[in-house]
Structure formats: C-alpha cells, structure tokens
Amino acid sequence: MPAGPSTPALALRHVTKVFEDGTRALEDVSFTVDPGELVSLVGPSGCGKTTALRIAAGLETPTDGDVERSAAASANLGFVFQDATLLEWRTARSNVELLPELRGVPAAERRARAEAALASVGLSDAGAKRPRQLSGGMRMRVSIARALVSEPELALFDEPFGALDELTRLSLQVLLQDLFAAARFAALFITHSVAEAVYLSDRVLVMGPGRIADEVVVPWAHPRAPELRYTAEFAALVGEVSGRLESAGASIGDDPRAGVTR
C-alpha cells in the first residue's frame, strides 16, 4: 500500500518476540512513529528496548504481530548503534561514504554528501582521520553523520550516547536535536536516560519488562534550546516520566524471563 501523508513511518502492531531458548523479550507491543516525529523508548536495562528496535529495523523477525514501515522509510533507513561501529581501516569520510557507496552512488556525489554530513556534525576537519584518532564523542558524531548522509526517512538510534561521558553526552543531545529540527526525519530513539528522552522526543514510550507500559507526550516544539533542560518545567516532566517508569517496572513482570535484552 503506498504511504500517504497520515501513514506512519513505522508501526509495530501487537508484536511479541520469543527467542529460541524460550525467553519472552516482547509481549504484545504496539506503537507508531509518524513522519517528522521523534519517539523515545525509555526503560531499564533488559526490558526489551533493543529487541523492539531491532525488530523495527528488520534485523529480527517478530514471533507474532506485524511491523510496517512506509515504503520511503524502508528504502532509506538510518541506524546508529550503541558503539560507533566505524570500520577501522577507513577514514572518517570514507566511513560516512559507506552506505552511498553500497548503493552505487557515484564517487564525486557521495564524497560531497559525506563532506556535508561531516560538516553538519561539526567534523569538517576530521574527514581524513581514522577512527582510532578520534575521541569517543567524535566517533559517535561520525556514526550519526553516516546514518544521516542519505537523508533517511526513518532513523533508529540504539542508546547511542550510553557509553559517553556526561559532557559529551549533553553536547551530542544538542547536536542531534538540532539535526532533527532541521531535517525532521522520523526517529525511534532508545535510551535509559529519562532526561535525554524528554529533551529529544515528541513522545516518550515508557517500557516495563517486555511491553509498553505508558506514554508521555512532550509539549515543547522543536527546535529546543539546550537551556530547556535546566528549567523547572523540564525537571517536572522528567520527574513524571521517572515516576511512571518506576511504577511500570514495579507492576509488570508476570513472566520472570520477560524483557531480557538480546
């Protein structure tokens, strides 16, 4: 079916995932991500966030339920991993060029796109460097540039800032927020940081073990100033989401094997 204006970029409908060893990672999970919307999945480690993301990407198949991506999202999908996953033997620019290269984009065009993508993440001067010459934050910037170089309809982020120090993490949140405000791709963002989810998202989906327990709409429009994170309203919303997260974790868990991250 062709994607219309109201068609979500991504929809998971009643998705259940049971691994071969019997582990129930997801139980009847449903949510959508509309075009131009950034949705966060927030939850504790092991609640099934990454499994949901991998199913959304097509890297895992659901045991039950459906996954739908719009045609545009399926054709042009960006993915940012937990670690930068850069190819060590390639320069930063060449890493960013990888996906256009695999799609057969001519060399001059993909080089221009890579330069622009690196500039958008503030790494214009680092194109010739190899990953080992970059800091953790710079590597993640290259990874984001690689995911966004083809201007994806749908971008998936798997806890990309989880391993970074706090200052780098804060600056990358601002960077990603700016990139999102400028390009308005649909995005699903996995994190265990409530503040990060609230700052970046239009909606926050709160996960308990294996399922979506709650949903919170974030009221502020994009672009968002970095200072928003230090306001009383922001702190109040973070507190509310944290409270719902806590009650979701406390009240769910009928199956002790549920929610194991794979």
Site residues for other proteins per CB under 8 A:
57-59, 77, 79, 81-83, 85, 87-90, 98-99, 101-103, 130, 132
User: Which are the contacts of 10, defined by CB distance < 8 A and separation ≥ 6?
Assistant: 32, 33, 56, 67, 68, 69, 70, 73, 154, 186, 188
Dist. CA 130–CA 234, nearest whole Å: 38
Shortest distance, position 90 Cβ to other proteins, whole Å? 8
CB of 9 or CB of 99, closer to other proteins: 99
Backbone phi, psi, residue 222, to 5°: -90, 150
CB of 41 or CB of 252, closer to other proteins: 41
CB of 98 or CB of 228, closer to other proteins: 98
Chain mean position to CA 87: 20
Shortest distance, position 59 Cβ to other proteins, whole Å? 6
Shortest distance, position 83 Cβ to other proteins, whole Å? 7
What the block records as the tokens of 164 is 């970074």
CB of 21 or CB of 132, closer to other proteins: 132
What the block records as the tokens of 143 is 């990874």
Dist. CA 232–CA 128, nearest whole Å: 43
Shortest distance, position 180 Cβ to other proteins, whole Å? 20
